Structure formats: structure tokens, C-alpha cells
Amino acid sequence: MSEAELLARCRAGDNGAFAELIAPQRERAWNVALRITGNRHDAEDALQNALIAAWQGIDKFGGQARFGTWFYRVVSNAALQIHRRRASGVTTDFVDPADLHDFSSQATPSVADRVVDADAVRRALAALPDDFREAIVLREFADMSYAEIAEHQQIGVQTVKSRINRARTQLVAMLQPA
């Protein structure tokens, strides 16, 4: 069934069509929520909030972009909302290293090394300004194009490139050994 047909069924109240429409987006949406919030518990809350918001706001999807692009925006907004709400305190929730991209340069890092690396990346991502974090997460973990990110953040493509470049520079600096 096409995306347009699924959307029409969703707008008519078909929960099954919504589940089918969301299914291809689940992994990327989870990665976006996890990377923006920095922990599993908040990512689960953000994803749940995003699913509810998407279902309730399906009529607001105008179809100018792909559904996935719109849904990632809903997810990132929900994750940013939770992140901002918790920004006053540092979370200590454990994130399973299997859920994080392994940034280690070792061929076969130990589980302990992966946990340390994942924690360092999580903390570094959390320290980035919200706009930078969102742009780098959408690019690296949601595989969105610069144009899709620009549309999502309602900015120009050059601004997206600048934000991603600055985010990468800041991440490299934060992840350098002391």
C-alpha cells in the first residue's frame, strides 16, 4: 500500500494503517530520540509522546515532504522538549552500548570500552547546543540529507552545513583524551 493510501486510512481513524506507516521509521526515530535525550528512559518517553502527537496531528501533515521527514521532526521536537525539561540535572541512566554507534577506533573493543565510549559520546552530544545536536543527530543517526534537515529545522542548507560542521568540531574537541 502506498504512503498516500496509508495516510488516507490514518485520517479515517485506521490504527493499523498508522502502525504500518510508522513501522519503517521506528529504528531511525528511536535513534533520533536516544541521541537527543541521551538516555533510554527519556528516549522512550519522547518516542511515545511523538507517536501520540503524530497520530493526533496526522491531519496537519500536508504532504509537501515525505512522511518520514515530518515524523522525524515530531520525534526530535518531543526529544528536545524532554531534554530541555531535564537540562537542569545530569542523567545517570545506563544506555545499552548495543543501542549506540561505536566510535572506538579499536577493531574489537571490549564491552567496558564500548560503555565508556558510549557514555563519553552521550555526554558530548548532551553538551552541544540544541540546534547543533539536533542537526548532527538527524544527519548521522537518521541519515537525513542536508536539504531534509534544512526543511526540518526551517533554515537554509548552508546553515545546516555550518551547524553540523560546528557540532563535529565541538564533539572532536570534547572527545579528545585529556
What distance in Å separates the CA atoms of residue 139 and residue 141, rounded to the nearest whole number? 6
Cα-Cα-Cα-Cα dihedral sign, residues 57, 62, 66, 72: negative
Domain 1-93 top-level CATH class = mainly alpha
- Between residues 95 and 163, the one the model is more confident about: 163
Q: What are the sequence ranges of the domains in the chain?
A: 1-93
Identify the DSSP state of 25: G
Specify the pLDDT at position 35: 87
Count of residues for the chain? 178
Q: For the chain, where are the E strands, in sequence order? A: none
CB of 62 within 8 A of CB of 90?
no
Instruction: Kindly report the pTM of this predicted structure.
Output: 0.58
Between 32-36, 87-91, 172-176, the lowest mean confidence (pLDDT) is in: 87-91
The stretch 15-21 carries a mean pLDDT of 91
CB of 50 within 8 A of CB of 71?
yes
- Residue 115: pLDDT over 50: no
3-state secondary structure of 143: coil
Question: In 10 A of CB 113, how many CB atoms?
Answer: 14
Between 69-73, 99-103, 125-129, the lowest mean confidence (pLDDT) is in: 99-103
Q: Calculate what percentage of the chain has a pLDDT beyond 90.
A: 20
CB of 21 within 8 A of CB of 6?
yes
